[in-house]
Amino acid sequence: MRSPAPFPALAAALLVAGGAFSATVKTLDREVFVRDANYDESKIAPYTLEDPLRFVDGRAVTKENWPERRREILGIFAREMYGAEPPPPAAVVTELVDEKVTVAGYAIRRQYRMWFTADKSGPCVNWIVWIPRYAKKPVPVISFLNYRGNHELVPDEDIPVMTAWVRNGMGKVTAHRAAEETRGAQQDPNSATVFPIGTILARGYAVMSACYCEVSPDPTMNAPDAAIFPQETFAYTGVFTLWGPRDPKRTDNITAIGAWGWALSRGLDLAERIPEIDARRSVVTGCSRLGKSALMAAARDERFAVCVPNQTGGGGVPLAKRDYGENISTENRMFTHWYCTAYAKYAEDPAKTLTFDQHLFLACVAPRALLVQGFGSKWFDPMGEYLSVRAASPVWEMLCGEGLPAGDFPAEFDTSAIGARLGYVRRAEAHGISAYDWLWMMDFADRVFKVKQVKDRQ
């Protein structure tokens, strides 16, 4: 997969020059440093990773004070990268929209509408939930945000086409509106992303989803307002109105990634209210930017038992100090609404200036379970993913007695680096959640929940 050029107008120049490009460029609201991606391991500058088991002031971390260290790390990322954590909602009000037996009789499908004020004013999000029909006791649940609307998950005409803002250029989407033509698109076995609903149900999992655009619209870097995207309310979307206007003087305003993670926590609020679901056995997942969002949700919300971020790319799992593939400069140019403005100051020389890295954020999931899933794209830096998981492993080793299994960087489809509560796996082929990813995810969660059930009975 080719990385995007820093600016569309510069693409031809970069191809002719054949070398690295860097510049400080004025965007609509600020100056940002941008440069081409590095794909040469020999050009990675020396860097040092912060010890997750040592406080900023040098104190050693123990099992007893790990919660304090976790809060310290989350505070660093809130100030310097992902923005402040959104506050809890004033209320979580859910309304059952419809219910029916579906998936050839094997599931109960429900649609819920969720508001965040007691009077049901302001933005709302539409959740869809499938529950195994023949389960004899409450079941675990997998939750994720989808890209273009719940109607794309299965070919069910009772699921309305989403009316929220959607990015153009995705399938049949034009004029920022979802399309009837893409109904059930994720049941196509040739799609890069599939949703194997029958297999998920047969494995004993409930599953729930909502569209991320109902939480925050997500413009491309070419949108006229991308650099100063105001996160205003659209139809059925825009939770930013719950938190008041952004303060232009602050460098840690709430970001889109923070909002998407917040929404996944609200989905877990709903799961806790559904009697057929055991919300203590919850899995949160997502692909690419929504993999970042799943990681955000699990890092900040300790109710999530298992986190499986899929192919997050830079700004998610890979080490930023490696400066390989997607980097801080491209992240701040292409996705200004994903990160707070404080993050941009690290773009030029992260190996020297960055005072934290992604392994610390991964560690905030511990001692809960984390399985990182990658694929063979240099832009996504799978080696950087693996090294990040390896660097976070000492926290699981301290808290759980074991972390990432010993060994070298695993080959594609090699599952030897998947441990009991921490793992890494990667595959070939396209960017998206494939059948392999779903099976690895459920195998991992099965082991985690089986161990937990045994301990609960002791």
For the segment 368-404, what is each residue's pLDDT rounded down to a tens digit?
Answer: 999 999 999 999 999 999 999 999 999 999 999 999 9
Q: Which domains does the chain have, with CATH numbers?
A: 79-457 (3.40.50.1820)
- Tokens encoding 16: 């002719």
- Tokens encoding 364: 């905030």
State mean pLDDT over 187-209. 97
Paired strand residues for 128: 111, 209
Angle (CA) 59-63-68 rounded to 5° is 55
Going by pLDDT thresholds of 50, 70 and 90, the confidence category of residue 19 is: very low
* Residue 171 confidence (pLDDT): 61
Cα(233)–Cα(242) distance, integer angstroms: 10
Is residue 150 within 8 A of residue 162, CB to CB? The reply is yes
**Which segments of 314-434 does DSSP mark as H helices, in order?**
328-334, 350-353, 358-363, 382-400
Q: Which residues of 189-198 are buried (b: 16+ CB within 10 A; e: fewer)?
A: eebebbbbbe
Cα(200)–Cα(135) distance, integer angstroms: 13
* Residue 88 confidence (pLDDT): 96
- Pairing outcome for strands 93-102 and 107-115: antiparallel
Cα(143)–Cα(166) distance, integer angstroms: 20
* Residue 34 confidence (pLDDT): 83
The H or E element that residue 369 is part of is strand 369-375
**Choice among 234-238, 256-260, 276-280, 282-286 with the minimum mean pLDDT:** 234-238
SS (H, E, C) 33-92: EEECCCCCHHHCCCCCCCCCCECCCCCECCCCCHHHHHHHHHHHHHHHCCCCCCCCCCCC
The 10s digit of each residue's pLDDT in 411-437 is 999 999 999 999 999 999 999 999 999
State mean pLDDT over 138-155. 97
Is residue 297 within 8 A of residue 261, CB to CB? The reply is yes
Instruction: Count the Cβ atoms, other than its own, within 10 Å of residue 102.
Output: 17
pLDDT of 228 > 90? The answer is no
Nearest CA to 235 out of 290, 183, 177, 179 is that of 177
Mean pLDDT of the chain: 90
* Residue 301 confidence (pLDDT): 98
The 10s digit of each residue's pLDDT in 27-63 is 555 677 888 899 999 999 999 999 999 999 999 999 9
Q: Which residues of 305-339 are buried (b: 16+ CB within 10 A; e: fewer)?
A: bbbbbbbbbbbbbbbbbbbbbbbbbbbbbbbbbbb
**φ, ψ at 59 (rounded to 5°):** -65, 150
Cα(10)–Cα(5) distance, integer angstroms: 7
pLDDT of 276 > 60? The answer is yes
* Residue 29 confidence (pLDDT): 56
Going by pLDDT thresholds of 50, 70 and 90, the confidence category of residue 220 is: confident
* Residue 25 confidence (pLDDT): 66
Cα(105)–Cα(39) distance, integer angstroms: 50
Is residue 21 within 8 A of residue 327, CB to CB? The reply is no
Is residue 202 within 8 A of residue 134, CB to CB? The reply is no
Going by pLDDT thresholds of 50, 70 and 90, the confidence category of residue 21 is: low
The 10s digit of each residue's pLDDT in 287-319 is 999 999 999 999 999 999 999 999 999 999 999
* Residue 208 confidence (pLDDT): 99
Coil vs helix vs strand at 143: strand
Is residue 454 within 8 A of residue 402, CB to CB? The reply is no
Question: 18: Cβ–Cβ under 8 A, 6 or more apart, which residues?
Answer: none
Which pairs count as long-range contacts for 198-201, CB under 8 Å and 24+ apart, including other chains? 198/103, 198/104, 198/106, 199/435, 199/438, 199/439, 200/130, 200/142, 200/438, 200/442, 201/103, 201/106, 201/107, 201/130, 201/132
The 10s digit of each residue's pLDDT in 61-115 is 999 999 999 999 999 999 999 999 999 999 999 999 999 999 999 999 999 999 9
8-state DSSP, 177: B
Cα(313)–Cα(11) distance, integer angstroms: 21
* Residue 237 confidence (pLDDT): 63
pLDDT of 3 > 70? The answer is no
Cα(47)–Cα(124) distance, integer angstroms: 44
Going by pLDDT thresholds of 50, 70 and 90, the confidence category of residue 236 is: low
Is residue 193 within 8 A of residue 433, CB to CB? The reply is yes
pLDDT of 328 > 80? The answer is yes
Percent of the chain with pLDDT over 90: 78
* Residue 452 confidence (pLDDT): 53
- Token pair 């959607």: residue: 166
The 10s digit of each residue's pLDDT in 356-368 is 999 999 999 999 9
Sheet holding 139-146, edge to edge: 93-102, 107-115, 124-132, 206-211, 139-146, 277-287, 306-310, 369-375, 422-427
State mean pLDDT over 219-223. 71
- Tokens encoding 65: 């004070």
Residue with the larger pLDDT of the pair 428 and 227: 428
* Residue 361 confidence (pLDDT): 99
State mean pLDDT over 206-230. 77
Question: 155: Cβ–Cβ under 8 A, 6 or more apart, which residues?
Answer: 183, 184, 187
